[in-house]
Chains A and B, each alone.
Chain A
Amino acid sequence: MDLDKLLEKSEGCIYDEPPACTSCCPVHMDIISFVSEMEKGEFDKAYKIMEKRVPFARIIGSICDHPCEEVCVRSDLGGAVKISELEKAAVSYGFSPPKKTIPIPKKKGRVAVIGGGISGMTAAFDLDKKGYEVTMYDKSNRLGGKLRSYVGRGLKKEVLEEELQALVKLGINVVLNTPVDKKRLEQLTGEYDAVYLGTGVWEEELPIHPQTFQVEDTSVFAGGKLANRNGSVILSASSGKRAATSIDRYIKRISMYASREREGSFETPLRYETDGIKPVRAVKKTSDIYNEDEAAREAGRCLKCRCRKCIEACSHLSGFDISPKSYMRQINQSERIILGTHYANKMINSCTMCGLCEEECFKGISMKDVIQETRESMVERGKMPVSAHDFALKDMKFSNSKRFSMVRKQPEGIKGPCQFTEKTEYLFYPGCQLPASYPEYIEGIYKYLVSNMKGGVGIYLGCCGAPADWAGRQDLMQESVEKIKKTWEDMGRPVFILACSSCCGIFEKYLPEITFVSLWKVFAQNGLPQNKKTSGNYVLSVHDACATRHNKEIHDSIRKIAALSGYTIQELKYSREKTKCCGYGGLVYYANSEQSEDFVKHRIEESDNDLLVYCAMCKDLLVDGGKRTFHILDLIFGDDLEGIALRKMPTLSDRHRNRAQLKVRLLREIWGEQPDMGLEKQSDYKITIPENVIRLMEDRYILMEDIEKVIDNAQKRSKRFFNPSEASYLARLRIDNVTYWVKYEEKGEGILVKSVYSHRMEIVEE
């Protein structure tokens, strides 16, 4: 896995990007944190946040020209948040004198700061903090410069004096009544390691670098009005700060440019969707500055812009409360672990790989692709937890075994619209889970296809390989692809008729040479086989299948079939290309059942309407979550819709049996064959399984056939334990990579199972 590419991709996620106000602020005040504290009435904390980034926060907080408000996302929704008014309130209600700090030894060098205005003050303050011996020069008899013009216009005289006093107290040398001109400047450059010029006006035009504030390649740096050419207080302060950084780098002889891309105002890549946000007008002041209550209310208008679109839409990202950015970083770490625990494994196997995040993302970042690549890498490195996908992969193996898989041409017995031909124009491929959940519909569909399609229609039972794809098992995936390709060639390259959305996804991804048509399109085009039209005014909401989120033809076909069946469709918020996963995708159903249940729960909460789905697993999971749900085939073929709406999914064992029996039934009834009875092997014992044990079997992924094998082995070879006090037996058998244990009693002729469990660990009996 290319981890550099992954990290590059993670940089594209805008979750962590600053809001427009902060990126526009020349000193990048953390405005979201500031207003959050203001909103809570924690004015002292709010002031502290302001102080972190804003130099002389008490001064600037009182008179800042607030460029931040111009870019506020609230602007069109009741007006920009009054950030500068909130700062004034924070200064009034939250200021406390700073704690005394131990002065740093001034060993790094000597710097002269010319001009005692806000840019000079800021440069001097920062350089002092960085360990330089600073001397300030001012032509007048006091510091403050133009700041004095704000006294009485927002700035209190005592605040200015106190802040200047504090500056002097740091140990900065102050030389007053000393004008500096070009000639004097030359002398000063000889006396000091660097000079900062913040005089507002100068005798000549200076070539000041816009990023470093350096004057050509000299030791002179200039900021404030000389650099900015306007009277902005905050820009002046920012230039003083940035020039101080440059002076430090200049004296230390390190790069003047490295890692400074985001100094000063910049345009944030953050985007924030305002759809559905109601306008709220700014809170009016009842006096000079906001009172505490007004300030808190005004702060409450802040949208706290942050891109959480994918997280809000996805049960997985919200469940782990993680942004794609940190997700990718965690994957990066996990991929680099050589010895130690891979803590991210569970998370990586809890993504349904449905692709909704990419649909939501302004930047088109697809976690589905990232997870796919990660799982494949885990498999390649032997780091994929076996238990996560083992059952699903075994189920796939079952579907592709002779117990279910088969290929047949259209038999001569049934006639389609054309005369019977040897040529198979179409091959109906119902997939694996539809026959597992709804074996009763398959025969009806096949007969419908034969009588509606021009040309012979064959049938092909099997699994497309989606579980292997989800599990990152490219070895099994390729095997599956080759098998399907070979069948397609052998049958004379027919058009596949697909009923399962996952199959459609797999065919698009791995078998582009095979033309397929959705069964739903066939129904929508050719009309429905039976007249099952509902008479009532029945409203349904479509839960589209995530594997075909981009297949508009399927979306439209489903809606058309619903209309033909007399239903009205009310669209969900997340539908069509923005549909949500039911929780089965990515094999999450097996790897993290709680996560899967969350997907179901969140989807159900979206609407009170009954749902209409066209994927067998969607129906089974939604019904399991208690939602009345119809499969599109229920509308076409179903008899007792009331019963069907909440019909529980068959157990894992029934899903096997349904498939095996379907094959036998089709062979007998349509092809007139007498299939090998081995396909439907019955146990030699009459085994009874009570309801509580059936529940255990489902939770522990134990099949009836596993239990039969354990009991058969135990009974025939007496390899079992016996508990005389309750007359029960306990037997075990290792099947493949799992040891199954069955506790049972012999009841007359039959066997009553008391409990079942399993483990993967191998016991070496010697």
Chain B
Amino acid sequence: MNVDNKKDIPWLCDKCKKELVLHKVKVRYLEGNFEVELLKCPECNMVFIDEELATGKMLEVEKGLEDK
């Protein structure tokens, strides 16, 4: 579920006006707890999830955990 860091990300945090940085982020669903590298605002920590990730890999992991 890690984000490909070679991709050029045009998004900024609107509030802090900071460029997003890759950082280890905790995610959880049902019984699953992981740490994954995701983009976030270095100041306010708001995590960025793009459409491709949410409807692709993330959905797949969710479904996998639901069937555990």
Contacts and interface: CB of A to CB of B under 8 A. Distances in A.
Contact of A764 (B13, B27, B64): B27
Interface in B1-51: 10-15, 20, 25-30, 38, 40, 45-49, 51
Contacts of B68: 340-342
Given A718-B14, A725-B10, A757-B55, A762 B29 contact: yes
B14 A387 contact: no
A333 to B, nearest CB: 14
A386 interface: yes
B46 A759 contact: no
A343 interface: yes
Contacts of B25: 763-765
A202 interface: no
B62 A760 contact: yes
B46 A719 contact: yes
A732 interface: yes
Chain B interface mostly helix, strand, loop or mixed?
Answer: mixed
Contact of A763 (B20, B49, B66, B67): B49
Given A761-B27, A761-B28, A723 B10 contact: yes
B54 A759 contact: yes
B54 A757 contact: yes
A758 interface: yes
Contacts of A4: none
A388 B48 CA distance: 26
A766 interface: yes
B13 A763 contact: no
Chain A interface mostly helix, strand, loop or mixed?
Answer: mixed
A757 B55 CA distance: 7
A345 B45 CA distance: 37
A34 interface: no
A723 B15 CA distance: 12
Contacts of B59: 759
A380 B27 CA distance: 26
A729 interface: yes
A427 B14 CA distance: 54
B46 to A, nearest CB: 6
A88 to B, nearest CB: 54
B7 to A, nearest CB: 14
Nearest to B58: A759
Contact of B49 (A340, A387, A700, A741): A741
Given A387-B66, A721-B13, A763 B51 contact: no
Interface string A736-757: 0001010100000000000101
A385 B63 CA distance: 8
Interface in A718-734: 718-726, 729-730, 732
Contacts of A720: 14-15
Nearest to A755: B51
A759 B14 contact: no
B58 to A, nearest CB: 5
Contacts of B28: 761-762, 764
Contact of A765 (B46, B51, B62): B46
A76 to B, nearest CB: 49
Contacts of A386: 30, 66
A256 B20 CA distance: 78
A343 B67 CA distance: 7
Contacts of A385: 63, 66-67
A314 B27 CA distance: 41
A706 to B, nearest CB: 14
Nearest to A761: B29
Contacts of A732: 49
A723 B11 contact: yes
Contact of A741 (B10, B38, B54): B54
B29 A722 contact: no
B57 to A, nearest CB: 10
A720 to B, nearest CB: 5
Contact of A760 (B29, B38, B47, B51): B29
A729 to B, nearest CB: 7
Contacts of A722: 11-14
Nearest to B68: A341
Interface in A590-649: none
A763 B47 contact: yes
A585 B55 CA distance: 26
A632 to B, nearest CB: 39
Given A720-B14, A722-B12, A758 B64 contact: no
Contact of B62 (A718, A719, A724, A759): A759
A726 B13 CA distance: 15
Contact of A721 (B38, B46, B62, B67): B46
Nearest to B59: A759
Contacts of B38: 763
B14 A729 contact: yes
B59 to A, nearest CB: 7
B55 A721 contact: no
Contacts of B66: 345, 385-388
Contacts of B27: 761-764
A67 to B, nearest CB: 50
B13 A766 contact: no
A341 B67 CA distance: 5
A764 B26 contact: yes
Closest 3 CB pairs of A and B: A385-B66, A764-B26, A722-B14
Interface of B: 10-15, 20, 25-30, 38, 40, 45-49, 51, 54-55, 58-59, 61-64, 66-68
Given A345-B66, A718-B15, A757-B54, 20 more contacts: A341-B64, A342-B67, A342-B68, A387-B62, A721-B14, A721-B48, A724-B10, A730-B48, A741-B49, A741-B51, A743-B51, A759-B49, A761-B58, A762-B27, A763-B47, A764-B25, A764-B26, A765-B40, A765-B45, A765-B46
5 contacts: A341-B68, A759-B54, A763-B26, A763-B49, A765-B25
